[in-house]
Amino acid sequence: MNLRHLATAASLALLVPAMAACTSNSPSTGADGSDGTVTVTSTDDACEVSSTEVPAGPVTFTVTNSGSKVTEFYLLGEDGLRIVGEVENIGPQLSRDLVVNVPAGSYSTACKPGMKGEGIRADFTVAKSDTPVDAGDQASVEQAQTNYAAYVKDQSDQLLTKTTKFVQLYEAGKDEEARDLYAKARVHWERIETVAESFGDLDPKMDAREADLEPGQKWTGWHRIEKDLWPQEAKDYTALTDTERKTYGQDLLKNTTTLDTRIQKMTFTIDQIANGSRGLLEEVATGKVTGEEEIWSHTDLWDFQANVDGAKVGYDGVRPILVAKGDKELATQLDTRFAALQKLLDQHKEGDGFVSYTDLTKDEVKALSDAVNALSEPLSKLTAAVV
């Protein structure tokens, strides 16, 4: 997940439930809105909404842009400020669905051709129905945001502390101690990897693997040093000199400091937290479970656990919102599958860490991979369920 994905996650998050519901819940289109389906035609100077009243429950707005500029559609609360739901970036002649679960009350709709101003607004009513809808609890939202930001900042802080120590040991030629601290320091990176990676300028300098490089690109960062500390499997490897060690060590430290400075200023929205949780499991599926991340040290299971830790923290933070919104079933499924994955990981613990990835049998790796897939599938629905 890169920076753009973080930045646009809010709008994307709304598209996810929209499409899912569109295929399953709206086989017919009732222009009168009685079945919770409303068509919206946005032009450069008008916003035609097929119905101004729907029953409480899930509502699908199918928004078509018939104008010449990019448009947006909003469902706003009674105060005209609170955004209940939105779809952005609808290009000319394209359509998008917005699905929102709305309780009874007064609202307004707004098309915003050209994405400027307060948009073309109209009153919109949601009538009482038999479908219970929970509006969500603002306090638990703020709690989740505060807690997650604190977690990320703390991890970044610990990363900087341990990296400082690691670089000192490495530069001093205390290889055994440096090797011991390598995975322990990286754990803090891996726990917040989706956030750390969102800085496109730092990630390639800090976490690039040899295979990621292009000709002429200088290889720096954690994995460069990893190879120097675990050269046994490297062919024809020339150890770095003391001067080179200092160069790479200081470079890593400088970038870690920059990263920490930036992270200390960050805030996170609910969809970013939920997307981050999903993203960390993707990191496991694509890099860790295949043993590609730490090809020299084989400390992949440390990273694996750290990614899962970070995902679990994100999930636990938004879980009260998930439950409040009524999706206990998803919460139960995620609880069970996080636990199942953790149980598998626990089998490979050794001392204060993990066995080498090369010690795992094929069947053990497959079992881990299956557990990651089992968890990732429902986790991919989390953002839509909590936003």
Partner 1 sequence: MTEDETSESTSFGPSRRAMIGTGAVASAIGIAGGFTAGRATAAEPTKGAPPSPFALRGAHQPGITTPVQDRLHFAAFDVTTTSRARLISLLKEWTLAAERLMDGGPAGPIGPVEGDYRLPPDDTGEAIGLPPSRLTITFGFGPGLFADEEGKDRFGLGGRQPDVLKDLPHFPGDQLDQARSRGDLCIQACADDPQVAVHAIRNLARIGFGTVSVRWSQLGFGRTSSTTAGQATPRNLFGFKDGTKNILVEEAKALDEHVWVQPDDHGGDWLAGGSYLAVRRINMVIETWDRQGLGEQESLIGRTKDSGAPLSGGQEHDDPDFAMPGRGGPVVPKDSHVAVVHPDHNHGARILRRGYNFVDGSTDLGTLDAGLFFLAYVRDPATQFIPMQNAMAKNDAMMEYLKFTGSALFAVPPGAGEGEYIGQALFT
**Sites of contact with partner 1 (CB under 8 A):** 2, 4-5, 7-8, 11-16, 19, 65, 70, 72, 88-89, 91-94, 115, 211-215, 217, 278, 282, 285-286, 289-290, 362, 365-366, 369-370, 373, 376-377, 379-380, 383-384
The residue among 33 and 221 lying less far from partner 1, judged by its C-beta, is: 221
Q: Which residue, among 181, 156, 187, has the nearest Cα to 166 in the 3D structure?
A: 181
Closest to partner 1 by CB, 202 or 253: 202
**In the complex, what is the shortest distance from the CB of residue 222 to partner 1, in angstroms, rounded to a whole number?**
17
Other beta carbons within 10 angstroms of residue 104's beta carbon come to 15
CA distances from residue 145 to 81, 85, 267, 338, 381 in whole angstroms, order as listed: 21, 19, 7, 21, 19
Our measurement of the distance from residue 182's CA atom to the centroid of its chain's CA atoms, rounded to an integer in Å, reads 25
Q: Compute the least distance from the CB of residue 257 to partner 1, in Å.
A: 26
- Report the alpha-carbon distance of residue 349 to residue 267 in Å, rounded: 34
Q: Judged by CB, which is closer to partner 1: 185, or 270?
A: 270
Taking the complex as a whole, the smallest distance from the CB of residue 125 to partner 1 amounts, in Å, to 27
Closer residue to partner 1 (CB): 93 or 261: 93
Residue (253 or 344) nearer to partner 1, CB: 344
Q: How far is the CB of 211 from partner 1 (least distance, A)?
A: 6
Q: What distance in Å separates the CA atoms of residue 62 and residue 98, rounded to the nearest whole number?
A: 6
Q: Which is nearer to partner 1, 83 or 127 (CB)?
A: 83
In the complex with partner 1, the residue whose CB is nearer, 7 or 339, is 7
From the centroid of its chain, how far is CA 190?
13
Q: What is the side-by-side strand order in the sheet with 95-102? A: 47-49, 37-42, 57-65, 95-102
The least distance separating partner 1 from the CB of residue 193, rounded to whole angstroms, comes to 13
Looking up tokens 């800085």 gives: 199
Q: Which is nearer to partner 1, 228 or 282 (CB)?
A: 282
Closest to partner 1 by CB, 72 or 303: 72
Residues 44 and 54 sit within 8 Å (Cβ to Cβ): no
Contacts 24+ apart (CB under 8 A), 344-352: 344/368, 344/371, 345/301, 345/304, 345/305, 345/308, 348/301
Q: How far is the CB of 118 from partner 1 (least distance, A)?
A: 15
Q: By three-state DSSP, how is residue 95 classified? A: strand
Provide the token pair at 379. 């986790």
Least distance in angstroms from the C-beta of 181 to partner 1: 29
d(CA 138, CA 53): 26
In the 8-state DSSP scheme, what is residue 4? H
DSSP code per residue over 319-375: HHHHHHTT-HHHHHHHHHHHHHHHHHHHTTEETTEE--GGGS-HHHHHHHHHHHHHH
- Specify the pairing of strand 349-350 against strand 57-65: unpaired
Which amino acid makes up residue 211? Answer: A
> What is the nearest approach in angstroms of partner 1 to the Cβ of residue 231?
21
What's the min distance (Å) between Cβ of 245 and partner 1? 26
